[in-house]
């Protein structure tokens, strides 16, 4: 009879373990480990969400997060440039009253645009938070799907078209009061 060494025993035990069917408990643990160790999903720069994919899957969330972050960077950069160059172009010291009035009007228009962009940056931040909370892409009123086409056109959309129209109608009614 051939002699069995300790290393051969280990190899045999390993083969026996491999041949056995894993228990349900083991399968569940392995699934949990795989989910916990999820590798980050990568998307190409040309990726566009499709209706055939599961709504608001990880790819969709990553796509919209990147889109919102890039949009936010552009707005912040534009605001900083507008503020910097706006402060340099100062005709308010000019002796001509018409030039002073024109400068004042131009600055007023620029500041309104900057304020709108600041509000938009705030909306982008809220949308990014909704992505983290897994509520992005769903209407805040009805919890229905907003839709990929609407989100592509307006990534900060919070409501379905019907709910948005209802809100706008309510705002118009209350504005008349």
Q: Give this prediction's pTM.
A: 0.70
110-164 pLDDT tens trace: 899 999 999 999 999 999 999 999 999 999 999 999 999 999 999 999 999 999 9
Q: Is the pLDDT of residue 173 over 60?
A: yes
Share of the chain above pLDDT 70, in %: 71
Of residues 141 and 42, the one with the higher pLDDT is: 141
How many CB atoms lie under 10 A from the CB of residue 157?
21
65-101 pLDDT tens trace: 999 999 999 999 999 888 877 766 665 566 688 888 8
Closest CA to 70 of 127, 139, 150: 127
Q: Say if domain 54-137 classifies as CATH 1.20.120.910.
A: yes
3-state secondary structure of 138: strand
Domain limits, the chain: 54-137
65-75 pLDDT tens trace: 999 999 999 99
How many CB atoms lie under 10 A from the CB of residue 60?
21
The alpha carbon of residue 4 and the mean position of all alpha carbons in its chain are separated, in whole angstroms, by: 61
**Rounded mean pLDDT of 28-40?**
62
Please give the Cα distance from 149 to 60 (Å, whole number).
Answer: 12
Of residues 25 and 15, the one with the higher pLDDT is: 25
């Amino acid at each position: 009879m051939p002699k069995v060494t300790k290393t051969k025993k280990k190899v045999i035990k390993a083969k026996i373990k491999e041949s056995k069917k894993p228990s349900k408990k083991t399968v569940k643990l392995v699934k949990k480990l795989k989910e916990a160790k999820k590798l980050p999903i990568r998307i190409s720069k040309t990726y566009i969400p499709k209706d055939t994919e599961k709504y608001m899957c990880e790819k969709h969330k990553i796509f919209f997060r990147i889109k919102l972050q890039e949009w936010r960077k552009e707005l912040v950069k534009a605001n900083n440039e507008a503020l910097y160059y706006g402060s340099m172009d100062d005709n308010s010291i000019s002796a001509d009253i018409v030039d002073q009035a024109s400068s004042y009007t131009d600055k007023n228009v620029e500041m309104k645009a900057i304020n709108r962009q600041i509000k938009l940056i705030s909306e982008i931040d809220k949308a990014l938070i909704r992505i983290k909370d897994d509520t992005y892409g769903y209407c805040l009123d009805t919890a229905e799907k907003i839709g990929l086409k609407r989100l592509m056109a307006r990534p900060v959309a919070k409501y379905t078209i019907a709910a948005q129209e209802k809100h706008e109608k309510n705002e118009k009614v209350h504005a008349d009061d």
